[in-house]
Amino acid sequence: MQTALRRVGDYIIRRCEERDLPSTININSVTLPEHYSDYFFESILRELPEAFIVAEFNDSIIGYIMCKIEFGFSNFRKLGFVKKGHVVSVAVLEQHRGNGVGKALMLEGINGVVTRKSDEIYLEVRISNEPAIKMYEKLGFQIKSRLRTYYRDGEDAYLMALEFI
């Protein structure tokens, strides 16, 4: 059993392990309309294990965050390419929302990206997902742009970013 990075009430927040991937993939499929291949989850875990975090409750995985590192133009008008984290996916099973699990996952994901000496982190979020947008803003993320018809169903997304100082 891996050591908890953080406890939130009865929830354990810890790094994802390979044995957690089936549960994580299942959470993705039941909570989000955007799905990734099993290989994609495996590759993210290999690439950046310190920012692939799960939430556990009674020995069951109930949420996750997975991030990757990219190089590209800054969302904060810095010149040239920067090293930045990308929150690829974050999800918590509906019955466990509102307990601080999403925030704890985000904080540990951000910490994992910081350990790789990134300049910033960003994510995309549906413009209709007001609870998530509010949580991201409380964590210091700023809406940087609106991405028109970003999702397959045609909904727009906000690109939100947080600069590390």
Question: What CATH number has the domain bearing residue 131?
Answer: 3.40.630.30
Rounded CA-CA distance 121/103 in Å is: 15
Rounded CA-CA distance 67/47 in Å is: 9
Q: Which domain holds residue 110?
A: 6-163
In a domain, 135, yes or no: yes
In a domain, 143, yes or no: yes
Q: Do 5 and 53 touch, CB atoms closer than 8 A?
A: yes
State the total domains in the chain.
1
In tens, the pLDDT along 24-42 reads 999 999 999 888 999 999 9
pTM of structure: 0.94
Q: Is 19 helix (H, G, I), strand (E, B) or coil?
A: helix
In a domain, 1, yes or no: no
In a domain, 122, yes or no: yes
In tens, the pLDDT along 71-115 reads 999 999 888 899 999 999 999 999 999 999 999 999 999 999 999
